[in-house]
């Protein structure tokens, strides 16, 4: 059985679901999932889990992500990006850079953000783009998001800037572009969105979709770089495999990835036991346990 973690550089024009469907054919697996959806027009890093490693996907949802993109001023679309329908245009003779700097500065830290009306976010059990497609009105409530940093450089065209954003999960870069357009009084939309990093994973490590195979699956020790990885053996490994609580003295992390050290260094996904959380002092309780593959 194939299982593991895979980093894909998603191409433009495919949804994250399309990528998963392609990978199911490549690996002959039904059980494949991804952490953090990318819009169809966006490119960049998509973290994909294969086989029962999908049970750990919630733990691969990175606390911070880094994106790049371009903000085009003077043109507003219904989706807040270049894939949408143009709903307003305005002539922009030149950008007020002082005003732009203040607008960008106001977006740092915690802020309330309204998601785009054309998005996969669910409201009352339906995705927002379904309401939009059927011309139905629905209240879109703002959400609190976190932006660590946001910077810009002049673009290659007039009234276009290149932005780079480091932010928390759930942040819509499209909404940032839209809000910049509102702040500048010109309208704006986003284009060429690219995810550069997710946690400690970088798009530089990712494989193009046409180049994936068994060799593209990450070594397990590298895949769990955001976690404390501990090898256990003997009776402790047996208890852990059964999902029972275990005692590990001297471990200070609150969350551990355990592997079967009786099988040697952590080089094979079959050695993965699962994720354990500290319950008290040296006692750790099973969070997610993956069955051994015989």
Whether the CB-CB separation of 169 and 47 falls below 8 Å is answered with no
Catalytic residue IDs: 39
**CATH, residue 181:** 3.30.2350.10
Q: Are residues 214 and 263 in the same domain?
A: no
Report the run of H or E that residue 184 belongs to, with start and end: helix 173-184
**CATH, residue 57:** 3.30.70
Closest CA to 245 of 232, 227, 228, 229: 232
Structural domain span for residue 283: 222-289
Residue 293, pLDDT above cutoff 70: no
Decide: helix, strand or coil at residue 65: strand
Positive or negative CA dihedral for 223, 256, 165, 118?
A: positive
Question: What's the whole-number average pLDDT of the chain?
Answer: 92
Whether residue 86 is contained in a domain is answered as yes
Q: How far apart are CA 184 and CA 202, in angstroms?
A: 32
Q: Are residues 119 and 39 in the same domain?
A: no
Residue 98 to residues 22, 58, 144, 183: CA-CA distances in angstroms? 46, 41, 26, 12
Q: Are residues 71 and 157 in the same domain?
A: yes
pTM: 0.91
Q: Are residues 210 and 134 in the same domain?
A: no
Whether residue 294 is contained in a domain is answered as no
Average pLDDT, stretch 117-139?
Answer: 73
Average pLDDT, stretch 161-180?
Answer: 95
Report the domain count for the chain: 3
Q: Are residues 211 and 103 in the same domain?
A: no
Whether the CB-CB separation of 199 and 63 falls below 8 Å is answered with yes
Q: How far apart are CA 216 and CA 8, in angstroms?
A: 9
Closest CA to 152 of 164, 141, 134: 164
Of 183, 218, 253, the residue at which a domain comes to its end is: 218
Residue 126, pLDDT above cutoff 80: no
**CATH, residue 281:** 2.30.130.10
Is 251 buried (19+), middle (13-18) or exposed (0-12) by CB count in 10 A?
A: middle
Residue 105, pLDDT above cutoff 70: yes
Decide: helix, strand or coil at residue 139: coil
């Amino acid at each position: 059985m194939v299982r593991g973690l895979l980093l894909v550089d998603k191409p433009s024009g495919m949804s994250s679901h399309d990528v998963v469907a392609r990978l199911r054919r490549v690996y002959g697996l039904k059980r494949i999932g991804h952490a953090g959806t990318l819009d169809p027009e966006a490119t960049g890093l998509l973290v994909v889990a294969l086989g029962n490693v999908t049970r750990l996907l919630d733990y691969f949802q990175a606390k911070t992500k880094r994106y790049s993109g371009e903000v085009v001023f003077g043109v507003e679309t219904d989706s807040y990006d270049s894939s949408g329908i143009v709903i307003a245009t305005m002539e922009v003779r030149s950008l007020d850079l002082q005003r732009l700097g203040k607008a960008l500065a106001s977006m740092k830290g915690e802020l309330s953000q309204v998601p785009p009306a054309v998005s996969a976010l669910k409201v009352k059990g339906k995705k927002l783009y379904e309401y939009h497609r059927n011309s139905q009105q629905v209240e879109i409530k703002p959400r609190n998001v976190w932006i660590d940093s946001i910077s810009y450089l002049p673009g290659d065209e007039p009234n276009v800037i290149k932005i780079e954003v480091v932010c928390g999960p759930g942040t819509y870069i499209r909404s940032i572009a839209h809000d910049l357009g509102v702040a500048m009084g010109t309208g704006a939309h986003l284009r060429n969105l690219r995810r550069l990093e997710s946690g400690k994973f970088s798009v530089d490590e990712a494989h193009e979709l046409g180049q994936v195979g068994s060799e593209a699956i990450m070594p397990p020790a590298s895949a769990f770089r955001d976690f404390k990885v501990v090898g256990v053996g003997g009776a402790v490994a047996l208890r852990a495999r059964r999902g029972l609580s275990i005692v590990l003295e001297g471990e200070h992390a609150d969350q551990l990835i355990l592997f079967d050290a009786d099988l040697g260094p952590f080089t094979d996904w079959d050695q993965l036991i699962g994720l354990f959380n500290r319950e008290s002092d040296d006692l750790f309780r099973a969070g997610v346990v993956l069955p051994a593959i015989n």
